[in-house]
Amino acid sequence: MSSSRSLKLTFQSENVSMWGIFFARIASFLSMELPSLSKTTITLTNKMFSTASAVADGKADMGFVTPPACVGMAYRGVGPYTKKMTNLRAIGSFPHDDRMMWAVPADSGINSIDEMKVKPLRLVLPGAEYPVRFLVEKVLQAYGTSLAELKSRGSLPVIRGEADAVVHEALQTPAWHEVAEKRRMRFLPIREDVLRMLENAYGFRRAVLSKGALRGIEEDTPCVDFCEWLMFVRDDMPDDLAYRITRIFIEKKGAFEALFNGTPRTRDILDFHINPKEVWRNVGEIPLHPAARRYYEEHGYL
């Protein structure tokens, strides 16, 4: 972020083209108000845990990450982060209804994560740079095993290709519906003590995979929450700029919600209805930027 005479902004997020458009719209609205905005750079990366570091270190001015707990881990210096990034500040969260799910074939005989230890499976997992992979390792550790041990017993983690079981998020995307409709699956619960550990140690909230959300979910199933995409900046972002970004996010929300219009609700990743009274709540337990807080308070949202 450069001086006010020539403002340059860099945005970073997961490699999802939609977020490139999201950032571009924010930049477009900002440029109407700030003639000094001379350059906007949008970085989309597959290294999911790099965005918090990029913002904290000044390589990016604003990040966009799901779930907010990932930014909370960076703020606290836990999990994949070796140092505290206490200069991170929240603007708000984009609504996103999601869960992390463990699904195995209904005819596999597996009824719990414990039983995965003794029944080899070809297991679809995201790459090591994804929060789901981090959580899989922590969950398996809490169950007294690991990916390495599962592999030694004959399980084969795969990212793409033929597989028996899936551990991933993105509940509302077509891929999960296709999996559930093509083959009868069983969705495994996570034990209460494991969910408590994930929340206390890393900030990942517990949730419920509701009965009927997908074919094969025959009862409410305890799982890890993956809701919301957190928009965040550094504490040194000028108040005027942070206030403008917050105001644009709320007052131009129709332009952002329109990115998802025409997509059936049950096949989309986002809720796409921005509620100003909710967007400041789930921010990974990092502080709101003071200017963002001021905007929400002035307008009666907080």
pLDDT along the chain (302 residues), means of 10: 70 83 90 89 88 96 93 96 96 87 83 83 78 90 85 61 71 68 83 95 92 81 90 96 96 84 52 85 93 97 92
Please report, for the domain that includes residue 257, its CATH number: 3.40.190.10
What is the DSSP-derived secondary structure letter of residue 43? E
157 upstream amide cis, omega within 30 of 0: no
CB 214 within 8 A of CB 180: yes
The number of domains in the chain is 2
CA 108 distance to own-chain centroid: 30
What per-residue confidence (pLDDT) applies to 115? 86
Within-domain flag for 199:
yes
* Same domain flag for 240 and 278: yes
Across 246-300, the runs of DSSP E, i.e. the strands, are none
- 267 and 216 in one domain? no
Does residue 202 sit in the same domain as residue 269?
A: no
The pLDDT value given to residue 167: 79
Burial (0-12, 13-18, 19+ Cβ within 10 Å), 107: exposed
The pLDDT of residue 258? 79
Among the three residues 210, 225, 240, which one is the final residue of a domain in this structure? 225
List, in sequence order, every residue forming a beta bridge with 13; answer none if it has no partner. Answer: 44, 64
Residue 255 exposed, middle or buried by CB count within 10 Å (0-12, 13-18, 19+): middle
| pTM across the whole model | 0.87
Residue 213: inside a domain: yes
Of 18, 7, 56, the closest CA to residue 269 belongs to 18
Q: How many CB atoms are closer than 10 A to CB 212?
A: 11
Q: Which pLDDT does position 284 carry in this prediction?
A: 87
Residue span of the structural domain in which 237 resides: 7-96+228-298
Q: Let me know if residue 2 belongs to a domain.
A: no
Look up residue 284 and give its two tokens: 């990974």
